[in-house]
Amino acid sequence: MKELEIGVFVAVFVEMLGPLLFWLLVAVAVAVTLGFVWVLVRDRGLDSKRLVRAQVVGVLGGVAAILFMQWITNSGFRDIGGPVDLMLVALIFVLGTIGAAILAYTVQAVVGGEPERPLQAF
pLDDT tens-digit series, residues 24-51: 999 999 999 999 999 999 988 888 899 9
Single out the residue of 97, 115, 86, 105 nearest to residue 35, CA to CA. Answer: 105
> For the chain, what is the mean pLDDT?
87
In a domain, 1, yes or no: no
Read off the amino acid at residue 60. Answer: L
pLDDT tens-digit series, residues 76-120: 788 888 888 888 889 999 999 999 999 999 999 999 877 665 456
Q: Give one DSSP letter per residue of 45-88, joined into a string.
A: SB-HHHHHHHHHHHHHHHHHHHHHHHHHTT--GGG--SHHHHHH
Number of domains in the chain: 1
In a domain, 121, yes or no: no
User: Which residues share a beta bridge with 13?
Assistant: none
In a domain, 120, yes or no: no
pLDDT of residue 117: 57
Q: What range defines the domain where residue 49 resides? A: 6-112
